[in-house]
Structure 1
Amino acid sequence: MASIVVIALVLVLDLLAFVLAIGAERRRSTADVSKDDAGRSYCVYTTDASTWYGVGALSLLLAGQAVAMGATRCFCCGRALSPGRWRGFSGVCFIICWLTFIIAELCLLAGSVRNAYHTKYSGYFINGPPHCTMLRKGVFAAGAAFTFLAALFAELHYMFYAAAAAATPPIIHGSGIGMTRI
């Protein structure tokens, strides 16, 4: 039987990660070109809040994944599950959960690193205004979407795993592997 505490904890952690990823997308750094006292153009960036939102979302998603995988013993440790549809569903959700988790973590990490990178006097040696490096729109949004999918499949994996663990194992009469008549 699935534990309500594990389900609630994973849901809360992943929901907070999703909200922070959306917040990071909305608070991305933007840049304006300004001139200093010497007349050189340079880039002035807005707040760096989205970098910290992205790091927070990355950390919370990692914590939610650790709780879900700890509760299911990462699907490979512990006693073997009974064969059946619940084990199959759990295996499929496990694989999809890890794929979406890795993609979400990469999006959030890349967005946080790229958003923290600021150029100042890139136009110092060339004529014209400087090119102000900014994060492309949608990186944190992609991270938020994959965070939602990772949360969904982590929850499904845990529930199917719990159903497979609670199922009665098949009865094998005699010793050895049961074979059918040819």
Structure 2
Amino acid sequence: MASIVVIALVLLLDIFAFVLAIGAEQRRSTADVSQDGAGRSYCVYTTDASTWYGVGALALLLAGQAIAMAASRCFCCGRALSPGRWRAFSGVCFIICWLTFLIAELCLLAGSVRNAYHTKYSDYFINGPPRCAMLRKGVFAAGAAFTFLTALFTELHYIFYAKARSAAAASPPIIHGGGIGMTRI
């Protein structure tokens, strides 16, 4: 049977990662052009909290994935699972959870790095106001969406893995009256 502690812990970490990713999207840095004492234009950025929200979401999602993979022995280590639908479902969810995990981590990492990048003076090279580097809208939202999908498929993978593991632990039934009966020799 699946461990309730593992399911709850992974779900809690993934929910916190999702909330932080949504918070990072809401608190993205924006820039305004201002003038210094010498009359040069430069970029003034708002708060940089979304970078740390993104990094926090990245770390929590990584921790949840590590706990789930350690509990399921990364699907490939440990004793063999019995063939059947639970092993097949677990394998499909395993592949999908890793794909969504990688996409979520890349979105959160790219968003955090790009949000932390600030330009100061850029009118030395161009005429007119400086181009202030800002993160596009939706990068952290995409990370949050894939964080949700990662949480869903990781939980499903672990539940199906536990069902397949318990099916493998049960002894096969002995069929009386049919067949050759070579198993008792």
Distance in structure 2 (CA, Å) of the matches to 1:171 and 1:112: 55
- Residue of structure 2 in register with 1:180 after alignment: none
2:27 aligned with 1:63: no
Distance in structure 2 (CA, Å) of the matches to 1:170 and 1:128: 78
Instruction: Give 5+ residue unaligned stretches, structure 2.
Output: 175-180
1:43 and 1:130 in contact (8 A); partners too: yes
1:40 and 1:124 in contact (8 A); partners too: no
- Residue of structure 1 in register with 2:135 after alignment: 135
Distance in structure 2 (CA, Å) of the matches to 1:174 and 1:34: 87
Secondary structure in 2 matching 1:44: strand
Distance in structure 2 (CA, Å) of the matches to 1:124 and 1:114: 22
Q: TM-score normalised to the size of structure 2?
A: 0.92
**Pairs within 5 Å for 1:104-119:** 104-119=104-119
Sequence identity, in percent?
85
> Which residue identity does 2:164 align to in structure 1?
A
Secondary structure in 2 matching 1:18: helix
> Which residue identity does 2:9 align to in structure 1?
L
Indicate how the Cα distance of structure 1 residues 174 and 75 shifts in structure 2: closer, same or farther if over 3 A, else same: farther
Instruction: Give 5+ residue unaligned stretches, structure 1.
Output: 176-182
Q: TM-score normalised to the size of structure 1?
A: 0.93
> Which residue identity does 2:85 align to in structure 1?
R
What is the total number of aligned residue pairs between the two structures?
Answer: 175
1:41 and 1:124 in contact (8 A); partners too: no
Secondary structure in 1 matching 2:42: strand
What's the Cα RMSD here? Answer: 1.3
Indicate how the Cα distance of structure 1 residues 84 and 35 shifts in structure 2: closer, same or farther if over 3 A, else same: same
C-alpha displacement of 1:124: 2.3
> Which residue identity does 1:142 align to in structure 2?
A
2:78 aligned with 1:78: yes
